[in-house]
């Protein structure tokens, strides 16, 4: 049993079925106390300054964790910077296992990709399906946390982000993580609804502003608390929710087809529109990473979604800067008017 790194969400059922432990490198990079240092290390190694902070962070994070000898890297369905990232790791002696989400969501192609992963890691479809049942139980707990966020208003935007985003690897310990979520759910259920106790409500403002957060997870998670200090709460974390795969299907290939993140932006927009309606959002924050190709998609998102949208750009894990705070404040005051 060994640790296998991930560059983003992949069918982790296969890794668990093979008896290994998946490690989402994004999570250990951003929760580490020296995230900015990881980024600087990558620049010292030769990564250009105008490249996504996540790519640079992932690069050094893997090298800092020598027990990770293999990495499943997503070569299609994520950005092409990943290709160069894989190659720079390979130079350092890390074994790379490529995985491609077919752009057209072709089920046969996706099955073939999973087939290859199964054979590389030495497991079987039967074991993979067993693992799906195991992980779906944990995912349903994440689904309950999400429901408590938007329907009962008892969970903060950051808590929602943290539990859902952790479903990319289940912190390497699905039962332990599931137990942690069960305990959290018990506590959250006892809480007073946050919408009644927000500082905004206290300051005599009308009511809590309900926001959707779309795009990759933020490089500055401080965002959530900042919003809550200003009378708004994120009740929908788009991609994080996708990581938790709230899809009601017994078929694992179908599950990874319903997962919107690696495919066309239009699939994501359908999902966002549906959830925005259900969760009664007042506005949407579209987060994009500096230098990311997803910044191009911002224009489509703005065109297709009929909500006030703030496009927020983040570069380094150094907290929310004054400029972004100014933008957030103006956005909230615009919604409030």
Partner 1 sequence: MSGQQTICGIDLGSRSVKIALMEEKAEGEELEIIRLESLDTIRFYREYGRKQGDKLAVDFTALGLPEVDRLVSTGYGRNTLELAGGEAIPELKAHVWGAIFQTGLQDFTLVDLGGQDSKIIQVQKGRMIDFLTNDKCAASSGRYLENMATILDLSLDELGEYTEAPVELNSTCAVFGESELIGKIVEGFPLPELAAGVNTTIVRRILPLLRSFRGEVIVFTGGVAHNQAVAKLLEEGSGRRIVIPPEPQYNGAIGCCVYATR
Using CB under 8 A as the criterion, which residues of the chain lie in contact with partner 1 when the complex forms?
Answer: 290, 299, 302, 308, 311, 313, 315, 322-323, 325-327, 329-331, 333-334, 337
Of residues 152 and 315, the one with the C-beta less far from partner 1: 315
Minimal distance, residue 313 CB to partner 1, in Å: 5
Count CB atoms within 10 A of the CB of residue 191.
14
Region of 105 please: left (phi>0), alpha (psi -120 to 50) or beta: left
Q: How far, rounded to the nearest angstrom, does the alpha carbon of residue 261 sit from its chain's CA centroid?
A: 9
Minimal distance, residue 268 CB to partner 1, in Å: 20
Q: In what order do the strands lie in the sheet with 95-100?
A: 21-24, 3-6, 68-76, 95-100
Q: How far apart are the C-alpha atoms of 47 and 49, rounded to whole Å? A: 7
Minimal distance, residue 283 CB to partner 1, in Å: 11
Of residues 249 and 290, the one with the C-beta less far from partner 1: 290
Minimal distance, residue 87 CB to partner 1, in Å: 27
Q: How far apart are the C-alpha atoms of 108 and 81, rounded to whole Å? A: 26
Q: How far apart are the C-alpha atoms of 140 and 18, rounded to whole Å? A: 23
Of residues 32 and 308, the one with the C-beta less far from partner 1: 308
Q: What are phi and psi of 280, to 5 degrees?
A: 50, 60
Angle between helices 294-304 and 265-278 (to 10 degrees): 50
Q: How far apart are the C-alpha atoms of 292 and 216, rounded to whole Å? A: 10
Q: Which positions ≥6 away from 228 have C-beta within 8 Å?
A: 156, 157, 194, 198, 199
Of residues 34 and 298, the one with the C-beta less far from partner 1: 298
Return the SS3 of 38.
helix
Of residues 147 and 325, the one with the C-beta less far from partner 1: 325
Of residues 206 and 323, the one with the C-beta less far from partner 1: 323
Q: How far apart are the C-alpha atoms of 189 and 213, rounded to whole Å? A: 23
Of residues 128 and 328, the one with the C-beta less far from partner 1: 328
Of residues 47 and 331, the one with the C-beta less far from partner 1: 331
Minimal distance, residue 327 CB to partner 1, in Å: 6
Candidates 21, 20, 26; CA nearest to 38 is 26
Minimal distance, residue 307 CB to partner 1, in Å: 11
Minimal distance, residue 234 CB to partner 1, in Å: 20
Minimal distance, residue 337 CB to partner 1, in Å: 5
Q: How far apart are the C-alpha atoms of 296 and 294, rounded to whole Å? A: 5
Q: Are strands 3-6 and 232-237 parallel, antiparallel or unpaired?
A: unpaired
Q: Judge whether 219 and 289 are in contact, CB under 8 Å.
A: yes
């Amino acid at each position: 049993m060994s640790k296998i790194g991930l560059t983003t969400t992949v069918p982790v059922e296969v890794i668990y079925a093979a008896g290994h432990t998946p490690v989402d490198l994004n999570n250990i990079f951003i929760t580490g106390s020296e995230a900015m240092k990881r980024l600087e290390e990558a620049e010292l190694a030769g990564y250009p300054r105008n490249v996504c902070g996540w790519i640079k962070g992932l690069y050094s994070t893997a090298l800092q964790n020598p027990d990770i000898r293999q990495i499943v890297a997503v070569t299609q369905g994520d950005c092409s910077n990943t290709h160069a990232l894989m190659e720079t790791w390979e130079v350092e002696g890390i074994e790379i296992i490529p995985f491609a989400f077919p752009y057209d969501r072709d089920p046969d192609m996706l099955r073939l990709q999973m087939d290859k992963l199964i054979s590389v890691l030495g497991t079987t479809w039967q074991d993979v399906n067993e693992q799906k049942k195991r992980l779906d139980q944990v995912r349903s707990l994440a689904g309950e946390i999400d429901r408590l966020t938007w329907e009962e208003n008892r969970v903060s935007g950051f808590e929602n982000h943290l539990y859902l985003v952790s479903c990319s690897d289940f912190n390497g310990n699905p039962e332990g993580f599931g137990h942690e979520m069960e305990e959290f759910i018990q506590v959250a259920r006892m809480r007073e609804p946050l919408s009644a106790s927000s500082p905004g409500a206290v300051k005599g403002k009308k009511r809590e502003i309900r926001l959707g957060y779309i795009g990759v997870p933020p490089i500055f998670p401080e965002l959530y608390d900042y919003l809550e200090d200003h009378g708004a709460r994120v009740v929908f974390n788009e991609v994080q929710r996708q990581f938790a795969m709230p899809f009601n299907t017994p078929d694992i290939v179908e599950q990874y087809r319903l997962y919107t993140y690696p495919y066309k932006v239009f699939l994501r927009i359908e999902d966002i529109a549906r959830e925005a309606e259900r969760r009664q959002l007042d506005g949407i924050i579209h987060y994009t990473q500096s230098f990311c190709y997803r910044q191009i998609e911002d224009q489509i998102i703005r065109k297709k979604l009929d909500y006030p949208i703030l496009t927020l750009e983040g570069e380094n894990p150094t907290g929310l800067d004054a400029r972004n705070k100014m933008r957030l404040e103006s956005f909230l005051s615009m919604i409030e008017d």
